[in-house]
Amino acid sequence: MILVAGVDEVGRGPLAGPVVAAAVILDAKSSIEGLADSKKLTPERREALAALIHRRAMAVGIAEACVDEIDRLNILNATLLAMQRAVAALPVAPAMALIDGTHAPRLAGCETRCIVGGDGLEPAISAASIVAKVYRDRLMLALHQRHPEYGFDRNKGYGTSFHLAVLDRLGPTREHRRSFRRPRQAALF
């Protein structure tokens, strides 16, 4: 049996927090109903599906690239690094990795195939999308406990008008990406 992992990331666009990737190898003997692109699911449905995925999948790997890595490498390379780490975190090595999007990380001993919109097409990528989203949302809720004034519990680090207004007033935290440009501004943080 050839092991195939679905790989996806979340957190490329926010102004704060890590980029998180997940790799999931589904068990053909234990299907999971309702897998879909995480962005199309309610938070409650994502949480329920993530728990099922962790219980029923053959393997799950989760990894992140921190803000310092994002600033040093750029967001694309940090995303690919997180994907590499997620696949490496799997307890079994896949022969193939299906990657959501147009860029694939280099994976030793593992073939890769990019699928644009894969999080809505391939169940393993959908599962990875859900796992990564739930994991990152939990990280942002923990970050909210340290910096409640930024509203990370609601904006998850994205550049909402509220978040931008707080940045104007208080400036960035250590968890803000210094290399990201603010919307409609040329200056970096």
The CATH number assigned to the domain holding 101 equals: 3.30.420.10
pLDDT score at 182: 59
Instruction: Report the DSSP pairing between strands 19-25 and 4-10.
Output: antiparallel
Q: Which domain holds residue 84?
A: 4-140
Length of the chain, in residues: 189
Cα separation, 82 vs 80, in Å, equals 5
Q: Is the pLDDT of residue 186 over 50?
A: no
Look up residue 114 and give its two tokens.
């990019």
Tell me whether residue 96 is in a domain. Answer: yes
Q: Residue 64 falls within a domain, yes or no? A: yes
Confirm whether 180 is domain-assigned: no
Asked if residue 123 is part of any domain, the answer here is yes
Q: Is residue 109 situated within a structural domain?
A: yes
Q: Which residues make Cβ contacts (< 8 Å) with residue 135, sequence separation at least 6? A: 20, 22, 50, 62
CA distance 61 to 131: 9
Is residue 177 a part of any domain in this protein?
no
For residue 188, is it within any domain? Answer: no
Q: Is 26 among the domain residues?
A: yes
Residue 25: is its pLDDT beyond 90?
yes
Going from the C-alpha of 145 to that of each of 16, 58, 70, 151, 180, the distances in angstroms are 14, 33, 23, 10, 23
What is the Cα–Cα distance from 73 to 61, expressed in whole angstroms?
A: 22
Read off the pLDDT of residues 26-73 as tens digits, 9 standing for 90 and up.
999 998 999 999 999 999 999 999 999 999 999 999 999 999 999 999
* pLDDT tens-digit readout, 131-150: 999 999 999 999 999 999 99
What is the number of domains present in the chain?
1
pLDDT at residue 180, as a whole number: 82
- What is the percentage of the chain residues whose pLDDT exceeds 90? 92
Torsion of CA 20, 24, 30, 34, to 10 degrees: 40
- pLDDT of res. 76: 97
Long-range CB contact pairs, 153-157, < 8 A, 24+: 155/14, 156/11, 156/14, 156/17, 157/11, 157/14, 157/15, 157/16, 157/17
